[in-house]
Structure 1
Amino acid sequence: MQLGSCSQRRLIQEDVSPFKASKRSLFALRMVLLFFAMTFGVYICSICLKQISTRITPQYVLLPKLEMTERNCKIPDVPTEDLLYVHYPQPKTYSRGECECSPVRFFVILSMQRSGSGWFETLLNSHPNVSSNGEIFSVKERRENFSTIERTLDRVYNLEWVSSAAKNDCVAAVGFKWMLNQAAMEYHREIVKYFNRRGVLVIFLFRQNLLRRLISVLANAYDREKKLLNGTHKSHVHSEKEAEVLAMYRPVINTANLLTNLKSVEKVMEDSLRFFNSTRHILLYYEKLINNQDLSAVQKFLGVPVRELKSRQVKIHTRPPSAQIDNWGDVHRTLRGTEYEHFLEHADHIT
């Protein structure tokens, strides 16, 4: 029995030994494959890194060149967050000469017709270092699409726009006024991207008393047709005598759509503030400006030295609304008890 059991054990050991040998060979083969896989992986990674570094290198090389272009002049001591709004335009049509290293800020006045933008712009242009170029998008060809709008903006901000607002002194802030109904709202997405890319400062100028604005709109439309000043239409005047002539006209306001009209204007104002909210901007109201005429905040916003600003324009409608509207009784009844009742007050400034 013992001899039999011993012989059986030898047979079992002899049968198992080939399996052990095969396992050892499999393990060795796996190690060889793992080594080759790791070697191949390292090789592939090195190739990828070389390709990535090759793509990045040209961009890295170009950066100093861009910096040199922007830093030809000594940049003034301004906070880092303001650097986007400091520019050194290089016009193609002429040389800035001694003004080449004078920093310039870009701005735009977003407003609505008969909201005081003409008067406000004359105040800005009385500053020796500010150049505001008027209502340039009143010409339809300049606002047919965003491409024409962009070309026009580039001309203004490259200091290649010729107008009476050009200054002999080194201009420190250049811009224009833009009425919201002149494609500013239609292309607001593209315009906001342009403003943020080029560092354009936005000045909102609105009127709080929309009834008085409506009086001005209707009176201006009437004079455009009748030309009360010796056959000449004038939206703005420079003498009290001319202002008295234009103020003699008392418009009849359509009370059937008066509330709808006021709400529509309010919505445009609200939408514009929402659309251009991501820009660096300041909000001004005509009534507050005309009462205290403190424009120091605006000048600081534009980064120009604070000066006393003056305008030769004379206000046309100075009398209370009751003396300016032909059907005052109807208008009074329409607005009484509504959210616009305060428009019936005489004071331009609304507290």
Structure 2
Amino acid sequence: MTEDLCFFNKDALVTKGPKKSPLLLRLVVVAFAMVCGVYICSICLKQISPHTTAKFLNIRIFDQPCNSSDIEEWEKPFVHYPKPETFSREECACNPVRYFAIFSMQRSGSGWFETLLNSHINVSSNGEIFGKRERRASVSAITQTLDRVYNLDWLSSASKNECNAAVGFKWMLNQGVMEHHEGIAEYFKQNGVHAIFLFRRNLLRRMISVLANSYDKSNKPLNGTHKSHVHSSVEAKVLAKYKPKINATTLIAELKHVDNRATRAIDYFKSTRHIVVYYEDVVGNRTKLKEVQDFLRLPYRDLTSRQVKIHSGHLSKQVQNWDEIQKVLEGTRYESFLNLDYQR
């Protein structure tokens, strides 16, 4: 009997009561969280002051486009505010930039002309970027390259620490310009690019320079190196010693071909904003450089170059068969080339 009683009491001690349902507890927790959330939100809303709102408004004002009220209406399509991906242009964000391209032909003074432009503190001209064939293989390849240049993402020695006012490059006519002129002209019109045509009046002098440069590439008289441009009179004299012999039979045909090529190039881009500059005019009258700066709407600067002219003096001293050339050109439209001269 005692054992039975003890057994009964033992069972009574270890027996657990029925579990309460967790659903009710969860509902209580959710309700408490909602009340707390509403309370916290009400406190936060009360703490937002007019001063904080003003800060938000200031940010919106900063993101507004740059003020262009001082730019004439006709000029606005030619004014740009690039946002390069390769660096921050924050300090120059509202400095307007003009895009340009120097169209020319080899040995027409484009290298010298470009160094003059690059001596301007606010100009970056990036050289012959379409010298590589893959960049001019198609209109698509050309426009992709142009986008990089004009977005200031084309980094070269021409890059400036100062804010750019004009950015561009030089482009030889035989580097895809004539083949893809329609697509290029359309790009120029859509993106407001200024075209600068730089040619020589005296195509005979250009021909002599082309032949001499070709000789220099093969023979490298300057200590085994080829230089298209020099910066000392000593180097210029070494290169000027060579006197080419011109093919008199094909001379007029070649002069006509070069002349027509320049004329067609100008015609292809007549619907764009452009200017035609002749090398001889720049050499003889430096006010022509002011016209170029005005064309690009640049602040005026005195432009300089360290390049030294290689072939100077009368043409009769620079060609082996001058008498033959003289006879061929006399009485033709190119006769003036025999005496058209200048000094630099």
TM-score normalized by structure 2?
0.80
User: Distance in 1 between the 2:66 and 2:87 partners?
Assistant: 18
Matched, 1:128 2:84: no
1:117-196 equivalences in 2 (<5 Å):
117-196=110-189
Seen in structure 2, the aligned counterparts of structure 1 residues 247 and 70 have a Cα distance that, compared at 3 Å, is: farther
Check whether the contact 1:321–1:346 (CA below 8 A) recurs between aligned residues: no
- Residue in 1 that maps onto 2:316: 322
Larger CA deviation: 87-96 vs 153-162: 87-96
Cα 1:168–1:329 change in 2 (3 A) is: same
Question: 2:203 matched to 1:210?
Answer: yes
- The offset of 1:71, in angstroms, is 5.5
Distance 1:70 1:181 in 2: 43
Deviations 1:44-86 (A, max 9, x none): xxxxxxxxxxxxxxxxxxxxxxxx9996212251111100011
Partner of 2:306: 312
Cα distance between partner residues in 2 of 1:103 and 1:112: 30
After superposition, the Cα gap between the structure-2 partners of 1:178 and 1:324, relative to the gap in structure 1 and judged at 3 Å, is same
On the 8 A contact 1:111/1:205 being kept in 2, the answer is yes
Query: CA–CA distance in 2 between the matches of 1:125 and 1:176?
Result: 10
Deviation at residue 348 of structure 1 after TM alignment:
3.3
Do the aligned partners of 1:131 and 1:167 also contact (CA within 8 Å) in 2? yes
Match of 1:287 among 239, 260, 280: 280
Q: Please give the alpha-carbon distance, in whole angstroms, between the structure 2 residues aligned to 1:162 and 1:82.
A: 27
The TM-score with structure 1 as length reference comes to 0.78
Cα deviations by residue, 1:290-312 (Å, 9 ceiling, x for unpaired): 11222111111111100000000
Q: Give CA deviations for 1:6-41 in whole Å, capped at 9, x if unaligned.
A: xxxxxxxxxxxxxxxxxxxxxxxxxxxxxxxxxxxx
* Amino acid in the other structure paired with 1:152: T
Q: Distance in 2 between matches of 1:164 and 1:178?
A: 17
1:89-132: per-residue Cα shift (whole Å, max 9, x none)? 01122210201111100000011111010000000000000000
Aligned identity (percent) is: 57
Where 1:221 maps in the other structure, the secondary structure is: helix
Q: What's 1:260 paired with?
A: 253
- Decide whether aligned partners of structure 1 residues 70 and 249 sit closer, same or farther in structure 2, where only a CA change above 3 A counts: farther
What is the correspondence of 1:1-351 to structure 2 with a 5 Å cutoff?
72-294=65-287, 295-345=289-339, 347-348=341-342
How many residues align? The count is 282
Q: Secondary structure of 2:95's partner?
A: coil
Amino acid at match of 1:345: N
1:37 counterpart residue number: none
| Gap regions ≥5 residues in structure 2 | 1-60
Return closer, same or farther for 1:157/1:315 CA change in 2, 3 Å cut-off: same
Give the unaligned 5+ runs of structure 1. 1-67
Alignment partners' CA distance in 2, 1:209 and 1:69: 54
Residues in 1 aligned to 2:111 and 2:127: alpha-carbon distance in whole angstroms: 8
Q: Once superposed, which parts of structure 1, at least 4 consecutive aligned residues long, lie more than 6 Å away?
A: none
The letter of the residue matching 2:84 is P
Cα offset, 1:175, TM superposition: 0.2
SS at match of 1:118: helix
Given that 1:319 and 1:346 are in contact with CA atoms closer than 8 Å, whether structure 2 keeps it comes out as no
Q: Which amino acid aligns with 2:331?
A: G
